[in-house]
Chain A
Amino acid sequence: MGGTEADIDDFGGAFTLQRADFQALLDALSKLGYDIIAPTMKDGAIVYGAIRAVEELPIGWTDDQGPGRYRLSKRLDGALFGYAVGPHSWKKYLHPPERELWRAKRNGNAVTFKTKPPDKQKRAFLGVRACEIAAIDIQSRVFVDDLYSDESYETRRRNTMVIAVNCSSPAETCFCTSMDTGPAVSGGYDLLITEVVEENAHVFVMKAASNAGQAVLAQLPLKTASPADVASSRAVIRGAEQAISRTMDTEGLRELLQENPEHPQWDDVASRCLSCTNCTAVCPTCFCTTVADHTGLSGEESRRLQTWDSCFSGAFSELSGGSVRQSTKSRYRQWMTHKLSTWIDQFGASGCVGCGRCIAWCPVGIDITAEVTSLRAKPKKEA
């Protein structure tokens, strides 16, 4: 299980930053050339966007989530990171929703191609949760560590600093403990922050795990973390663990899904699923894309754009004879079987990190953990 006392990164070598000095972290990142991407409030949700000032964080806000439900509400304290995850994930930056792949042009009879150089902007992701670090790792397995490597993704990933924040306020939809991805951050970061909000103290216990992270810490007015700060940090993590009640039984799940493509539960979920693609858009690991040519009126020049796609769309499985997956049943089955089962065959790990986004953002509240429970029930005899 993630986040037990033993495998929480120890807090040896940790420092403490006062709340009053938090702006210094943002200033240091800017000075070092990073665009800072962090949680912000927009349209009634906590989403990721560029910030420069600490006031742009959702200070004192939290999220209230459930199947098909997401609401913001005020906290009783002034925590900077007192919420779980919203509809955005960091894939928005590492694997952008729209990207130009290349441009084609007619030169005489020939068709020639050119591409833009990879985006080398340095970005600091501030407020990355343990489940999201797992999601970034999963997408890197698709785009970097597989048969082919996507230079564009690899360059953006390489120029990204991950500033993780241990989760203090999981949502009702969270089940990272079942997926072994959290809530405690246990690697994959440059800087790790644990926010401690107590009656008379508001501090950030910080730790660097890379040279880039060290370089940032070197700019900050830090004190060595006191034993009390460390104890408080551990309490934050333990509190988060205890706050997670949702579970998904992953034992034998890979086999269960592959052996039950005709389980009646697929018809049941299809009767509720709208095939709206929300779950794939909010999922931090869903990576599928399509391409479209944008051609000028002359027909002599064309831009090829890659955009996020979803296995819930009809065109996704199109062949010359029509779509392979015509029914919602087959599309939901593809999505869930891929996520929890065939993903393991393809990339050596589950495609689910337990962040709960697909549960909260499903307009009809389909709950993937409940679907697993139903699939585990013996198929009922058909009437």
Chain B
Amino acid sequence: MDASPDIVGATATTPASYTVVNKRWEFNGTATLHLARACEKDSWSPAAPGQFAMLYALGVGEAAISFSGLPETPGRYVVTVRRAGAISDALTRLKRGDGLGLRGPFGVGWPLDSVKNKDVVVVAGGLGLAPLRPIIEYLAHDRGVANSVSVLYGARSPDAILFERDLSRWRNDAGMNVRVTVDAAASAWRGDVGLVTTLIPEIEFRPKNSVALICGPEIMMRFAAEAMEDAGLPQKAIWLSMERNMKCAVGFCGHCQFGSYFICKNGPIFSYDRIRDTLLVREL
């Protein structure tokens, strides 16, 4: 074999070393991790809202995780991970000070140019609120960007509501119309119960001057996109964050193909008009 020395340093296919500098349990099995670059020599680039990273737990594997926060400090990222399999389990078990690998940011994010002066309708289901959080924060920070912002969020139960403090802040400080509904709840819950799509007719927006940003389980996104189209939004104004089995994140491994698209490099955010027909085909 070649006697050349090994190469140290991150590339698009080799992770960079990161450290967990802060960790917060959102609720049982779901944690938000603040990550800091361990080696100054590794390149870092700011992520756009909606982009994702490949996170690596030593000896377990890599998983595609969207950024849930975008710190301005170079070398920092924020992600929210739900325990769903061996890799995400290992990631949620990481403690402050633990190391992990990170590749990214990858993919095409939410359409920041398209939200200007629009009524923005954010529809999130479950952990789908996490990839939306950076663009909601952006709209909360620059309140003049959008004409109005509605955040419709459906969680499984009252104790599985993500970012509760953010939700109140967006409602009370940023003037957003924040509506939370749960699939099922005990009688102590005073909020809405039912599918997130049932909230759509209850909010105000100008259909021809609106943008919908949708993230959640695929079935929920399909119904939400249809509901927004029924409400008068053109398909081009409806945006979805898609998920498929992303392994390499750079278009080499072929796993995340969705019709003509590679979710990793052409997405994960797509306008509805580009993927509507594909979404309707089973097992594609």
A and B bound? yes
**Residues of the B chain whose Cβ atoms lie less than 8 Å from the Cβ of A346:** 260, 262
**Residues of the B chain whose Cβ atoms lie less than 8 Å from the Cβ of A116:** 2, 6-7
B97 in contact (CB, < 8 A)? yes
Decide: A326 near B283, CB < 8 A? Known: A111-B17, A309-B254, A316-B255: yes
Whether the Cβ atoms of A316 and B245 lie closer than 8 Å is yes
A271 in contact (CB, < 8 A)? no
Decide: A113 near B255, CB < 8 A? Known: A101-B13, A102-B15, A299-B59: no
Whether the Cβ atoms of A110 and B17 lie closer than 8 Å is yes
B60 in contact (CB, < 8 A)? yes
CB < 8 Å A-B pair total: 142
Measured CA separation A59–B97 after assembly (Å): 64
Q: Is the interface of A mostly helix, strand, loop or mixed?
A: mixed
Query: Which A residues between 146 and 160 are near B, CB-CB below 8 angstroms?
Result: 146-148, 150-151
B56 to chain A, nearest CB (A): 7
Q: What mask results when residues 291 to 314 of chain A are scored 1 for a CB within 8 Å of chain B, else 0?
A: 101010001101000000101000
B161 to chain A, nearest CB (A): 20
Whether the Cβ atoms of B7 and A143 lie closer than 8 Å is no
Whether the Cβ atoms of B14 and A102 lie closer than 8 Å is yes
Whether the Cβ atoms of A317 and B7 lie closer than 8 Å is no
**Residues of the A chain whose Cβ atoms lie less than 8 Å from the Cβ of B250:** 147-148
B119 in contact (CB, < 8 A)? no
Whether the Cβ atoms of A317 and B255 lie closer than 8 Å is yes
Measured CA separation A258–B252 after assembly (Å): 22
Whether the Cβ atoms of A319 and B254 lie closer than 8 Å is no
Whether the Cβ atoms of B283 and A104 lie closer than 8 Å is no
Stretch at the interface among B98-106, B110-118, B163-171, B202-210: B98-106
Interface size class of A (residues with CB under 8 A): 35 or more
Measured CA separation A111–B59 after assembly (Å): 10
Whether the Cβ atoms of B283 and A327 lie closer than 8 Å is yes
**Residues of the B chain whose Cβ atoms lie less than 8 Å from the Cβ of A151:** 11
Measured CA separation A67–B34 after assembly (Å): 56
Whether the Cβ atoms of A290 and B255 lie closer than 8 Å is yes
A73 in contact (CB, < 8 A)? no
**Residues of the B chain whose Cβ atoms lie less than 8 Å from the Cβ of A112:** 8, 17, 99
**Residues of the B chain whose Cβ atoms lie less than 8 Å from the Cβ of A114:** 6-8
Decide: A324 near B283, CB < 8 A? Known: A114-B8, A150-B13, A293-B60: yes
A288 in contact (CB, < 8 A)? yes
**Residues of the B chain whose Cβ atoms lie less than 8 Å from the Cβ of A120:** 2
**Residues of the B chain whose Cβ atoms lie less than 8 Å from the Cβ of A319:** 243-245
Q: Is the interface of B mostly helix, strand, loop or mixed?
A: loop
Q: What mask results when residues 217 to 252 of chain B are scored 1 for a CB within 8 Å of chain A, else 0?
A: 000000000000000000000000001110110111
**Residues of the A chain whose Cβ atoms lie less than 8 Å from the Cβ of B243:** 319
A230 to chain B, nearest CB (A): 43
**Residues of the A chain whose Cβ atoms lie less than 8 Å from the Cβ of B11:** 115, 151
Measured CA separation A258–B284 after assembly (Å): 11
A77 in contact (CB, < 8 A)? no
B16 to chain A, nearest CB (A): 7
Query: Which A residues between 6 and 34 are near B, CB-CB below 8 angstroms?
Result: none
Whether the Cβ atoms of B244 and A317 lie closer than 8 Å is yes
Whether the Cβ atoms of B8 and A143 lie closer than 8 Å is no
Q: What mask results when residues 268 to 305 of chain A are scored 1 for a CB within 8 Å of chain B, else 0?
A: 00000000000000000001111101010001101000
A40 in contact (CB, < 8 A)? no
B221 to chain A, nearest CB (A): 14
Chain A residue at smallest Cβ distance from B217: A321
Chain B residue at smallest Cβ distance from A111: B99
Our pick among B59, B100, B255, B281 for the contact of A261 (Cβ within 8 Å) is: B281
Query: Which A residues between 104 and 134 are near B, CB-CB below 8 angstroms?
Result: 104, 106-107, 109-117, 119-120
Our pick among B58, B99, B248 for the contact of A289 (Cβ within 8 Å) is: B248
Our pick among A113, A147, A342 for the contact of B251 (Cβ within 8 Å) is: A147
> Besides the contacts A101-B14, A109-B98, A319-B243, what 6 more A-B pairs have beta carbons closer than 8 Å?
A113-B10, A113-B101, A148-B12, A148-B250, A295-B59, A309-B254
B residues with a Cβ closer than 8 A to A are 2, 4-8, 10-17, 19, 38, 56, 58-62, 84-85, 88, 97-101, 243-245, 247-248, 250-255, 257, 259-260, 262, 265, 281-284
A residues with a Cβ closer than 8 A to B are 101-104, 106-107, 109-117, 119-120, 142-143, 146-148, 150-151, 258, 261-262, 287-291, 293, 295, 299-300, 302, 309, 311, 316-320, 324-327, 329-330, 333-334, 338, 342, 345-346
